[in-house]
Amino acid sequence: LTRLQYLHRIHLSDVLQLLDGKAIAKGILDSLRERVAQLVRANHPPPGLAVVLVGEDSASQVYVRNKRRACEQTGIRSVAHDLPADVRENELLALMDTLNEDPDIHGILVQLPLPNHLNKSAVLETISPMKDVDGLHPENVGRLTRGEPRFVPCTPAGILEILHFYQIPVEGADVVIIGRSEIVGKPLAQLMIMHNATVTVCHSRTKNLAQVAAGADILMVAMGKHHFVGADFVKPGAVVIDVGIHRVNDKLSGDVDFNAVSPKVRAITPVPGGVGPMTIAMLMSNLALAAKMQS
Ligand code: NAD
């Protein structure tokens, strides 16, 4: 081995790698800003995103604010539709119809969760599949399942970008996903299958969870349970992707107990600064794709 190869092997095997989603997201947003500026210089309208927020859920307000800020940073036009918590379903559906017809709006985002009296499926199915930048319309879900994606849900798409950026091989890897939600776990599983991983999806009824997780080359955790995943859940040298976001004592942390797990693994996403910023960057990137397809 040359000295360089030797150092490289050490780098890959022994040194913990922090998977810096924040830096990758910045690169994606910087290049999008440049593309939007080029469009505007050529007298095209900037891509437009409608952001629909129903009610006053405080976590949703933070997510929506971050998405609107990313629009500002990239020159994307975002239009806010803040509706009261008791909005009637037919009013919300009528708004979707209006936005579907609006040529200056290329993407529609309805922040979830919706209040209980609203039928989430009915709302998501009313969004035009061509403006469905969250990738939750059944047509886009079906396309991903067939391995022919149009809009991939933003969090799974962001995770794949992180793995590609750090050249972490997905093909043939044993990937264990904890969580089977419509927005993270299930589309993530489809995306990993599409990229030739061997995928196991765990959920609240899974038996011997820690033991199953410890078989993973890449462990992806999206369960919404603070610091649930400890050192016993990981194989030495595994890669860990932590999707969870929790605010505890005014600090953000994940589903993975970072201090317990990180000494054992090869690479891990921090919270904050891992998956979260990538989710927003992929939303902007889906919007740019939507605008391109519609122009
Ligand atoms: P969800 O509540 O819809 O789904 C949680 C999943 O975890 C379910 O499928 C459930 O079966 C599974 N689960 C729960 N308890 C379990 C247990 N004890 N054992 C095994 N499985 C269990 O959550 P979600 O919307 O997928 O979000 C998950 C987490 O990710 C939350 O903390 C959320 O805030 C966060 N999140 C982060 C981003 C981001 O950009 N980083 C995006 C979306 C969600």
pLDDT tens-digit series, residues 126-163: 999 999 999 999 999 999 999 999 999 999 999 999 99
Ligand 1 centroid from CA 185, angstroms? 8
The predicted structure's pLDDT at residue 57: 92
Task: Indicate if the pLDDT at residue 1 is higher than 50.
Answer: no
Share of the chain above pLDDT 90, in %: 93
111 is known as an active-site residue: yes
CA distance 184 to 28: 21
Q: What's this model's pTM, rounded to 2 decimal places?
A: 0.95
| Alpha helix positions (H), the chain | 3-13, 21-41, 58-74, 89-101, 120-126, 138-145, 154-165, 185-194, 209-213, 258-261, 275-294
Reported as a single tens digit per residue, the pLDDT across 66-80 is 999 999 999 999 999
Reported as a single tens digit per residue, the pLDDT across 228-256 is 999 999 999 999 999 999 999 999 999 99
Ligand 1 within 6 A of 195 CB?
no
- List 134, 217, 242, 255, catalytic entry: 134
Confidence at 25, pLDDT banded by 50, 70, 90: very high
Task: Indicate if the pLDDT at residue 3 is higher than 70.
Answer: no
| Alpha helix positions (H), 127-245 | 138-145, 154-165, 185-194, 209-213
Nearest to 111 by CA among 162, 60, 166, 50: 60
* Beta strand pairing call for 198-202 and 218-221: unpaired
The predicted structure's pLDDT at residue 8: 53
Ligand 1 within 6 A of 206 CB?
yes
CA distance 272 to 179: 20
